[in-house]
Amino acid sequence: MNIRKFQVGLATGTFVVAGISGVAHAANNNAYFPSSQAFGTVMFEDQFPCEADYDFNDLVLEYNATVTTDSSSGDIRYLVWNTRIVAVGGRINNGFGVELPYTNSQILSVSGATWENNGASEKVVLRMFENAHAEYGADGSLNTMAERDEMAPVERAVVVTFNSNVSSLGTPPYNPFAFRSDSRAHEIHLAGESSTVNGIDFDGVCDVDTDYKTLAGLPFGIHISAQFGWPIENARLDIAYPELVAWASSGGLSNTNWNDAPAAGQTLASSLADMCTLGSSSYSYTATGISVQSSDSTAATNAAIAAQIAIDFAGHPQGTPVIMDWRDIEAMTASELAIFMTTSPTTAFVTKDGDIDLYAGRPYFIRRIEGYTNSGASIHDAVWLDLNDPTSVSDYSGGSVSFPDTTGKRGIWLGSWKGARPALVAW
Amino acid sequence: MRFFYVWSGCFVFLIGCDQQPPACASPDGCGQPLPACTDLNCSKWPVGFDWQTHREVALSLAVSDSNGGRLPGTRVEVYAAYDPSLGGTQLLFSGQTNNSGVLELNHRVPKSRSVVWVKVLDGRADPWFTVSVAEGNDVAVAEVLR
């Protein structure tokens, strides 16, 4: 019997999953962009192909990406991309996508985004959302006016799983782009980038010269490998960041920290994004199982774990794992959840360690796991829900949680800490 | 004589301006100082300026023992910065060397950054090393002796 260990919650925790047969994989290497606990920023001017107010707040996104490669071969195994929309200025409806430097034939699967597969030899294009306003459920300028209430960021977690023998290429954010929700081909890219196979060429149209620059060389999109306060409505980027012009005029040699020096009152930043801050975490995969160490298990961590599990358990007798966002799970009724999570609504799949009979015959769903010790001696707080009784929510403060066998088990919930959003892996 | 005027006119035209392409997309093209400009409407920047604050670097890090033998499977972390009280900050990479004892990594660093910090997790003392990623060193090759 193989023992697979999940450590979710505190770094010393253990979440034991036993009895699942699997194939040993080599250890993984993880590269984090811009770093493990930070977000980069991509922002666009959506009047493209014509110049506009240059406040670059028409669509502002933050991203954090993890590229996992096989430590021996260097081949890429998966990409976990977390995006959150933090501001939408103006009224034009825009979507967001990324072109990867890989061909469609090199991809095994994509979750959390629409995969535009335009042929085996074409580059991968992922549409992460179609309409930023729709994602917020609101119109007009969102989070670009200081006098208006701030709206919480809208998040997306995307996991790309690669086929074997694919060398890692490039670095995130690769070729990100905005596009008009009512005109997919109308793409806006960073300066120097090219449109995707589904975009159209605007060179020479209105104010565009070539390569998504104006005749004067100005960009329509900006990428900063850090969180970045975006200009308020109608505040041009050079007004919001007075050192920008000196930086650009020097060819990027002087005033290199221009993005850290905003003018007073000219920019906004997301205070609500703090609730989504990524935690320090790492995980590894060995012949004895997956080991996840996290002081703050968050969407990124969970997505990474989910991707690992998807790889590991592809072809598992119980079927292909399904990765779902916690919000989608919460939207289910208890009976829907029970059916989803169990092969039979009356079959237990989560029990206390060494005490399986106590809950046998009743499906339980762990809602929160906040910490463990390696010895399994204590759990800081685990709350689970009896799916047969949605009003029954219990706190659990001792022992560890285990899956003694796979009988009837259809799901592993990956815990969160401090309100970050978890993902769910289910069979 | 007419032939002479035509050719001499062309010669004057050719030497009148710097024959090299202007370093900047300046409208005069002849290197005349431009008036001070502080906004995007009048400022100029080098032709081909990419508006990127970061650049890609390829890091190749070999970990070797005192005899020069490479150490495969050595756990390594790479950080953007180091704080004496906190250790490494801004984790860029965690993983291990390959079967040849080498770690290959592509990453982005701020254009102003000159080093990244490497931590070798082999349980020995003094695990911290710096690797130069200064401008012009976009392929950074380094060896760590343990």
CA distances from A114 to A58, A65, A95, A97, A253 (A): 22, 17, 12, 9, 39
Determine the average pLDDT of the residues in A297-314.
55
| pLDDT over threshold 90, residue A230 | yes
Parse chain B into domains and list their residue ranges. 55-145
Q: CA-CA distance, A232 to A268, in Å (whole number)? A: 6
Yes or no: say if A189 and A220 are a contact pair by the CB < 8 Å rule: yes
3-state class (DSSP) for residue A157:
strand
A128 in Cβ contact with A75 (< 8 Å): no
Q: Cβ(A124)–Cβ(A78) under 8 Å?
A: no
pLDDT of A270: 65
- The verdict on A395 and A248 lying in the same domain is no
Extract the tokens encoding A243. 């050192």
Contact B96 A170 (CB under 8 A): no
Is there a single domain that holds both residue A372 and residue A407?
Answer: yes
* Domain end position, chosen among A275, A303, A323: A275
Same domain? For A311 and A253 the reply is no
H/E stretch holding B115 reads strand B115-120
Chain B residues with CB-CB distance to A38 below 8 A:
90
Query: Are A45 and A184 part of one and the same domain?
Result: yes
Do A138 and A252 belong to one domain?
A: yes
Of A421 and A418, the one with more pLDDT: A421
Measured between beta carbons, the chain B residues lying within 8 angstroms of A74 are 98, 104
Residue B46: asked if its preceding bond is cis (omega within 30°), the reply is no
Phi/psi for A19 (5° steps) reads 80, 10
A300 and A173, same domain (yes or no): no
CATH 2.60.40.10 fits B55-145, yes or no: yes
pLDDT of B60 strictly over 90: yes
pLDDT at A196 over 70: yes
Least CB–CB distance from A29: residue in B38, B43, B93: B93
3-class secondary structure per residue, A55-94: CCCCEEEEEEEEEEEECCCCEEEEEEEEEEEEEECCCCCE
Q: Which residues of A touch B95 (CB under 8 A)?
A: 27-31, 69, 71
Overall average pLDDT of the B17-37 stretch:
45
A263 CB within 8 Å of a chain B CB: no
Same domain assignment for residues A94 and A234: yes
Residues A314 and A385 in one domain: yes
CB contact under 8 A, B51 and A191: yes
- Alpha carbons A276 and A295: distance in angstroms, whole number: 14
Nearest-CA residue of chain B relative to A254?
A: B112
Answer yes or no: is pLDDT of A191 > 90.
Answer: yes
User: Residue written as tokens 């005749």?
Assistant: A215
Of the spans A130-134, A274-278, A384-388, B128-132, which averages the highest pLDDT?
A130-134
* CB-CB neighbours of A122 under 10 Å: 16
Whether the ipTM is more than 0.90: the answer is: no
Do residues A256 and A354 share a domain?
no
Whether residue A200 sits in one domain with residue A62 = yes
pLDDT at A314: 55
Residues of B in contact with A224 (CB under 8 A): 53
- Of A71, A222, A236, which has the smallest distance from its Cβ to B95's Cβ? A71
In this complex, is the C-beta atom of A422 within 8 Å of any C-beta atom belonging to chain B? no
Q: Residues A338-358: what's their mean pLDDT? A: 35
Is a pLDDT exceeding 60 seen at residue A25? no
CB-based contacts of A64, cutoff 8 Å, min separation 6: A32, A33, A34, A38, A39, A40, A81, A82, A278, A300
B96, A32: Cβ pair inside 8 Å?
no
- A385 within a domain of the structure (yes/no): yes
Q: Which residues of A touch B47 (CB under 8 A)?
A: 217
Query: Worst-scoring range by mean pLDDT, A176-180, A191-195, B15-19?
Result: B15-19
Task: Give yes or no for residue A229 having a pLDDT over 80.
Answer: yes
What is the rounded distance in angstroms from the CA atom of residue B146 to the CA atom of residue B126?
9
Task: Tell if the CB–CB gap between B40 and A218 is shorter than 8 Å.
Answer: yes
Quick one: pLDDT at residue A97?
97
Q: Count how many pairs of residues, chain A against chain B, have C-beta atoms within 8 Å.
A: 118
Domain count across chain A: 2
Q: What integer pLDDT is reported at residue B17 of this predicted model?
A: 37
Query: What pLDDT sits at residue A360?
Result: 30
Expressed as residue numbers, the domain containing A322 is 3-26+277-426
pLDDT above 90 (res A231): yes
How much of chain A exceeds pLDDT 70, in percent? 56
Question: Which of A275, A296, A318 marks a domain boundary?
Answer: A275
How much is the pLDDT for A226? 86
List, in order, residues 6 or more apart from A44 with CB less than 8 Å away.
A56, A58, A59, A60, A94, A178, A188, A220, A221
Both A19 and A53 in one domain: the answer is no
Final residue belonging to a domain, choices A243, A275, A307:
A275
The answer to which of A120-124, A250-254, A293-297 has the lowest mean pLDDT is A293-297
Q: Let me know whether A306 and A225 are in one domain.
A: no
Nearest in space to A311 (alpha carbons), one of A23, A36, A83, A100: A23
Smallest CA–CA distance, residue A31 to chain B, in Å, is 4
Identify whether A22 is part of a domain. yes
A61, A83 in Cβ contact below 8 A? yes
If you ran DSSP here, which 8-state letter would residue A208 be given? B
The Cα A123–Cα A67 span in angstroms is 18
